[in-house]
Amino acid sequence: MAEPESASVPHHVAIIMDGNGRWAKQRGLPRIEGHRRGVETVRRTIETARELGIEYLTLYAFSVENWRRPQDEVGALMGLLEYFLKRETSTLVKNQVRLRTIGRTDLLPDFVRQELERTIAATADFTEHTLVLALNYGSRTEVLDAAKSYAAAVAAGEIAADDDSWESFARHLYTKDLPDPDLVIRTSGETRVSNFLLMQAAYAEFVFLPIFWPDFSADHFKAAVAEFAKRERRFGRTGDQLRSPAATAAIPPLVAGR
């Protein structure tokens, strides 16, 4: 399909990668095989995001709730993450893609954290494209951590006690130096956000696809971006205001919105 026009490409796309296990089950394969195929899709998706000119790509790789899965599956997922990092670091460096993480990554196994630190250091100087892996991530957990950090800053006199601005609080989120997502995509046919970027996606557009993650192709990605381009993003304003430069100029900018 045709490439979307650059002006219509979202600055930041976040993806809930769902359906690996069900993909495998449909084919009579072990769940871990679905996760293996999902890793291949991740590689393809990073390449497509770069080709489309998307500056930030966030992938929901492992949630705080995923620890509840069978231990052999959790162990396999950690092993696949290590494998991905070892295999893809050179490609990220070649393509100048910076790696970032969000979540309580300090609770991941040591061998995973070591690979993450190595890849993050190797790609730290790149600025054109950023891959963000949400690992041991949950939006409610993020808000709790941010609230603790914010309260400590108030107690230390770093923030005024009566400062109730969103900007001040947002600086304590895991994503404090990342833009909010413009587009959130979820595969598998489920239509829920599953504790993912609840604060940051307040004004995002959502696209839900009825395919499992291993089947998510470059064409699916481009189609989602094309759908995004059709949406009118008003941020509380009216369509007439957006189409009138004079009216738009008189409206105060939206906090943390694009």
Could you give the residue numbers annotated as active site?
18, 66
φ, ψ for residue 213 (rounded to 5)?
A: -55, -45
Binding-site residue numbers for Mg(2+) are 18, 205
How far is 86 from 81, CA to CA, in rounded Å? 9
Q: Which residue in the block uniquely carries the two structure tokens 């489920």?
A: 190
How far is 97 from 204, CA to CA, in rounded Å? 23
Angle at the Cα of 149 from the Cα atoms of 144 and 152, rounded to 5 degrees: 125
Confirm if 14 and 181 have CB atoms less than 8 A apart: yes
Confirm if 11 and 179 have CB atoms less than 8 A apart: yes
Give the distance, in angstroms, between the CA of residue 61 and the centroid of all CA atoms in the same chain: 9
How far is 201 from 233, CA to CA, in rounded Å? 13
Binding-site residue numbers are 18-23, 31, 35, 63-65, 67, 69, 186, 192-194, 205
Binding-site residue numbers for substrate are 19-23, 31, 35, 63-65, 67, 69, 186, 192-194
Confirm if 134 and 174 have CB atoms less than 8 A apart: no
CA distances for 35 relative to 20, 23, 79, 180, angstroms: 5, 9, 11, 27
Q: Residue 255, SS3? A: coil
All residues at 6 or more sequence positions from 87 whose CB lies less than 8 Å from its CB, including other chains:
none
